[in-house]
Amino acid sequence: MKGLTLLLVMLMIWYFAGMFHQVGLMILAVCFLLFPLAMFILLFYQKKRLNITLEKPKIIAFKKIEKEIGIRADNDSRLPVNRYRVKMRLRYTTDKNILRKKLGGCAGQRSMNEENLSFFYVQAPYCGVIDLQLTRWILYDPLSIFSVSHKLTETGQILVFPVEKSMHIELPADGRYDNLPVSETHSNKPGDDHSEVRLIREYRPGDLSRHIHQNYSARTDTLWVKEFSKENDHIIDLLLDTSPKDPGTDGWDAFYEIIFSLLLSLLKKDIYSNVHWYDAEKNSLVTFQVSNDTDAAETLARLYLTDTHCTAEALYHHLPAQQEGLMILNTDLEWYFAGQPIYHFHKEIVEEELSTLVFRL
C-alpha cells in the first residue's frame, strides 16, 4: 500500500511538472524515483551486516508464567535498521506439533549493556524442554516498501520447571521410618555429606539452615556452615520408571510435577532422596542425590536432557537385588513404596491432587 501511494504521488508530480514546465517539480520527481532505488540497494548492504542471535542458548522458565526472552541484533553497517522480523519455531521435545512465532523489532530498540536486544514472551503450558529455533529474519526498508530475508540456524532450549510446591506427606507415628537407610554414596557437591565435622566454610545458597554454625556466625557477623564427612540423614531411593508407553506432553508434565513436589516434601521431612532413572545413551541407571531445593531442580534439568526411553526388562535388569524400601514412580503416574501402592495420579487433575490430598506412606 505504501509503495502504491508513493507511485501515485510520483506520477502526479511528473504530470504537473510536464503540464506547467516546472524544473523544480521535475527534480522532485527524479528524487522520488531514486529514493526507492536507494532504499532497495541499502537493504542488500545491511543484509550482509546484520546478525541475529539468541541472547542466551539455554533459558530457565516456569510453567504458566511469562518468560522474557531476548534476541540480539548486531548491526555492523553503521546505518540504522528501521524494522526487522524474526520467524521462529517453538516445540516441546515430547510433541511433534510446532508452534510458529514471529518477532518484530529493530536493532537498537532497547539497549542493555550496550547490546541491541529485542524481547518476546513465552508462557509455557507444560513442564519439560522447548526447542527454540530461529528460522529466518526479514529486513524492511524505512518505508516498508521492500524487504529481504535471510535463513537462520540459531537454536536454543527453554527448560520449563513446575512452580515450587510440596505435597502433604504423613509418616506413620510408629517410627517405622526412623530406621531408613543412610547414604553410602558421595553427594553431588563437596561439603554436603555430614556426620563428623570436617571443616567450617562460608554459607552458600542451597545450604541447609540446620548446618549453620550458630556460635561462629554470631561472633563474625557472617554465616558459616559446618561441612561433615559422612551422611547420616535418612535416605529414600526413588526410582523413576519410564518403561511404560510415552504418556504425551501432558503426561510428562504431570510426571515432572509429581517428582518435584515429592522431592520437596521429603526434604521438609528431613529425608534426602537418591533418585534413579535409566539413561538410554549410557545403557545404565544414573543416580542423583537430592539434599536441598537446588538439587531437586537440578534433578529435573538432568532428567529433561536425558533419553529415558527403555523397556521394563532393561530398567529392572540394572536394579540391585535388594529393593526393600524402594519408592517407584512411573510415567503412568502410579506411585509405589516398599512394594505397596500409594496412589494413582490423574494427569488432568494432578495439580489439584497434589495440593489437596494427604498421602500416607
Domains of the chain, by residue range, sit at 50-161, 168-193+231-360, 194-227
132 has which bridge partners?
A: 90, 156
Residue 327 has pLDDT above 90, yes or no: yes
Cell triple for 287: 543416580
pTM of the model: 0.74
Residue 352 has pLDDT above 90, yes or no: yes
Cell triple for 113: 549493556
Q: Kindly tell me the sign of the dihedral angle through the C-alpha atoms of 268, 269, 270, 275.
A: negative
**Average per-residue pLDDT in the chain?**
80
Query: Which residue in the block uniquely carries the three cell numbers 519410564?
Result: 242
Cell triple for 359: 498421602
Backbone angles phi, psi at 329, to 5 degrees: -130, 125
Q: Are 50 and 86 in contact (CB under 8 A)?
A: no
* CATH superfamily, domain at 50-161: CalX-beta domain (2.60.40.2030)
Quick one: pLDDT at residue 313?
A: 84
The whole-number average pLDDT for the span 166-195 is 57
Quick one: pLDDT at residue 196?
A: 54
Cα 253 to Cα 108: distance, rounded to the nearest angstrom:
38
Quick one: pLDDT at residue 253?
A: 95
Name the pLDDT band for 193 (thresholds 50, 70, 90): very low
Residue 34 has pLDDT above 60, yes or no: yes
Q: What is the pLDDT of residues 224-278, one digit of tens each?
A: 776 654 444 588 999 999 998 889 899 999 999 999 999 999 999 888 999 999 9
Q: Which of 4, 54, 56, 6 is nearest to 29 (CA)?
A: 6
Rounded to the nearest 5 percent, the helix, strand and coil shares of the chain are: 30, 35, 35
248 or 203, which is more confident: 248
The whole-number average pLDDT for the span 306-318 is 85
336 or 114, which is more confident: 336
